[in-house]
């Protein structure tokens, strides 16, 4: 298994470099379980999905606590057949046979219920892509059904689903979408946008 994300942080302020630099300290508790590489468009974080999502959540919350309008975007992937297996990504969660959809939805709900409360409101939208399987829309519709009952569902949009709530519950919900839908060892990706402090109307 290979899993991780290409992430970018966009603080809408002339001091965007300062906001990003100060937020980076939030990655420190996660660094020993991640491989990290940066260029001028994004930062690659490779690790198990739970660590990758905790790192994104803490980075986003740190940037948002500046009070500036901040957006985090992530291109998230697990199980891409074009990537090599990596020991830093090994997780028992993504092995074994695929459980029935209802069982997976129940586990996803429990995980979101148990999510840490961060105390920062986040709006988010994301698209889930389950690749290389027949009937990919069945998994996507199963996921959308989970999202509608996740407690952070805001609305369905064309091409994506929109969430709003505490940063902890929002990132936990997207994490569950990645690991519970599509086959355990399958190729699943997410296109995620999370926003805080927007002056725009909903």
Residues that bind a second copy (CB under 8 A): 2, 4-6, 8, 10-14, 16-17, 38-42, 44, 46, 69, 71, 73, 75, 77, 80-83, 123-125, 127, 129-132, 134-137, 140-141, 157-160, 162, 187, 189, 191, 193, 195, 198-202
CB contact at 8 A, 18 and 66? no
Nearest distance in Å: CB 36, a second copy: 12
Find the shortest distance in angstroms from Cβ 28 to a second copy: 21
Tokens of 21: 């630099």
* Alpha-carbon span 52 to 167, nearest angstrom: 15
User: Length of the chain in residues, anyone?
Assistant: 202
- Cα–Cα distance between 174 and 191 in angstroms, integer? 10
With H, G, I as helix, E, B as strand and everything else as coil, classify residue 150. coil
Compare residues 26 and 122 and give the one whose CB is closer to a second copy: 122
The binding site consists of: 9, 43
As measured in angstroms, the least distance from the Cβ of 63 to a second copy is 12
Question: Is-contact 128 137, C-beta < 8 A?
Answer: no
Q: Tokens in use for 138?
A: 């069945």
Residues tagged in the binding site annotation for thiamine:
9, 43
> What three-state secondary structure class fits 135?
coil
Looking at the Cβ atoms of 39 and 85, the one nearer to a second copy is: 39
- Nearest residue (CB) to a second copy, 107 versus 162: 162
């Amino acid at each position: 298994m290979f899993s991780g994300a290409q992430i970018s942080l966009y603080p809408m302020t002339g001091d965007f470099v300062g906001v990003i630099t100060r937020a980076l300290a939030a990655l420190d508790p996660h660094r020993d379980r991640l491989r990290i590489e940066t260029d001028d468009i994004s930062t690659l974080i490779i690790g198990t999905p739970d660590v990758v999502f905790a790192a994104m959540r803490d980075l986003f919350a740190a940037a948002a606590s500046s009070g500036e309008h901040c957006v985090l975007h992530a291109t998230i992937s697990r199980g891409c057949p074009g990537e090599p297996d990596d020991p830093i990504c090994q997780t028992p969660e993504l092995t074994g046979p695929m459980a029935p959809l209802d069982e997976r939805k129940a586990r996803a709900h429990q995980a979101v219920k148990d999510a840490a409360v961060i105390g920062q409101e986040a709006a988010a939208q994301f698209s889930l892509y389950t690749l290389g399987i027949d009937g990919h829309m069945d998994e996507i519709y199963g996921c959308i059904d989970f999202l509608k009952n996740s407690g952070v569902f805001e609305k369905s949009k064309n091409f994506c689903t929109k969430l709003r709530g505490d940063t902890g519950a929002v990132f936990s919900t997207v994490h569950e979408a990645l690991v519970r839908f599509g086959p355990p060892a399958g190729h699943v990706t997410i296109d995620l946008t999370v926003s805080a402090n927007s002056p725009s109307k909903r």
